Each structure stands twice: as C-alpha cells, then as structure tokens.
Amino acid sequence: MPTLAIIHTTPATVVNLKKLAIETIPDLTVINFMDDSILPQLANNQANLADVEERLIAYARFAEQVGADIILEACSSVGEITKKMRMVVKIPVVRIDEAMAESVVMQEKKIGVAATLATTLKPTMKLLQEKADLLGKQVHLTPCLIEGAYQRILNGDQAGHDKLLMDAFSSLLQEVDVIVLAQASMAGVADKMPEETRARFYSSPSLAMNQVKTLLLQ
C-alpha cells in the first residue's frame, strides 16, 4: 500500500487534498504535515523563503522517516523550496503547481493569474514564465490579487470567500483567455462559475495528484 505525505501551510487544503488523493489513487495511505505559521511569517518578512526553508526541508525528512513513498508540497507560496527538498530525501517530491504550469503555457497565451495571497502570486507568475521560457512559448500574464478572501476562509466564511473570488473571476475573464488559480484552496470555486466559463480555469490539485499517481506507478 503506497503512502503519500502532504506538506500543508494552511488547514484549508488538508481535507480536500486527502479526499482527492484517495479518489485518484486506490489503497493510498495519506499522511499530513501542516504548519500554519509559515504563511503569516512570509506575509511579514517580504516573502523571504530563507526564513522558512529549513523548517520545510525538515518536514520532507520527517515524511521520509515515517515511511512515505512520495511527498506532495501543497503550497504555491513555498514551491521553490521543493528543489532543495529533492536534494535531501530519496523519495520523489512533487510541487503542487508544476504540472498545472506546464499544461497551461503549452496551450494558452493570455493567462490571468488569480491569488488570495500576495506571497503566492509572485512565485506562481515566476513559475509560469519559467515554464514558458523553457518550452519556447510566448505568454502574457495578468496578475489578480483578491484581497480579503483568504482571511474569510480562515474565519470560516466559505461563502464570503467564494463570492469575492467569483466576482473577481468574472471581471478577469473579460481580459484573458484562461485563469490560473494560484492556490489549491481556490480550486473548488471554478465549479461554481457559469458552466460556459468553467473550461477556462486551470487549478493545480487534480493535475498534481495525477503526477503523484504516475510517479508511484513507475
């Protein structure tokens, strides 16, 4: 029975990612590591990843020690640290937004990038541009920071969070071809949009979990 360790920086992703993992990969065991001190720290230190790097690398080591076969790093704000995680463990480490970034830049040119955290918006934009450059694709990225939404979800106001996102998405869709959802916690909101617009959204969880499945089968 394979074991997946998921490293979270917010409680908002724990339940949904575990559910998705079990639906995607039969007989999977899921272990969660969740540290909700990381995002507030990044908000207060100008998103300096060096201040949280050692902690996240330690979680990767813990995951390997408890028997995980693969790790999913579930936070786009700290995705760049996966490179160093891979250097200290012998098991695969999947960055949650990497498969999504590759998919969208292969197919689209005018891309909106929506986030509810400033600490997530910049690394997602950087990742998309890096993937576009690597693949020789020309893309135009339009950032959209939806302020106040993340605090609502932390306060238990899911409806208020979703309403802010849907309003922002409706406006952004007037300017771009597709919208990349920079955080896993945003993924379910696209399904609440008008049916004719749903195909214009890219979210990371399903694509990342398929990548996990592929690596486990190798």
Asked if residues 92 and 61 have their Cβ atoms less than 8 Å apart, the reply is: no
The full set of domains in the chain, from first to last, is 3-97+206-217 (3.40.50.1860), 98-203 (3.40.50.12500)
Q: Which residues contact 98 (CB under 8 A, 6 or more apart)?
A: 79, 82, 127, 131, 208, 211
Q: What is the DSSP letter of 97?
A: T
The alpha carbon of residue 8 and the mean position of all alpha carbons in its chain are separated, in whole angstroms, by: 10
**What pLDDT does 108 receive?**
81
Question: DSSP string of 11-75?
Answer: GGGHHHHHHHHHHHSTT-EEEEEE-TTHHHHHHHTTT-THHHHHHHHHHHHHHHHTT-SEEEE--
**What pLDDT does 181 receive?**
94
The one-letter code for the residue type at 24 is: T
Q: Which residues of the chain have pLDDT under 70?
A: none
Asked if residues 32 and 8 have their Cβ atoms less than 8 Å apart, the reply is: yes
pTM for the predicted model, two decimal places: 0.91
**What pLDDT does 128 receive?**
96
Partner residues linked to 6 by β-bridges: 32, 72
Asked if residues 55 and 62 have their Cβ atoms less than 8 Å apart, the reply is: no
Which sign, positive or negative, has the C-alpha torsion 33, 3, 206, 159?
negative
**What pLDDT does 107 receive?**
87
| pLDDT tens for each residue of 132-186 | 999 999 999 999 999 999 889 888 899 999 999 999 999 999 999 999 999 888 8
Residue 171 CB-half CA count within 13 A: 11
- What integer best gives the mean pLDDT of the chain? 94
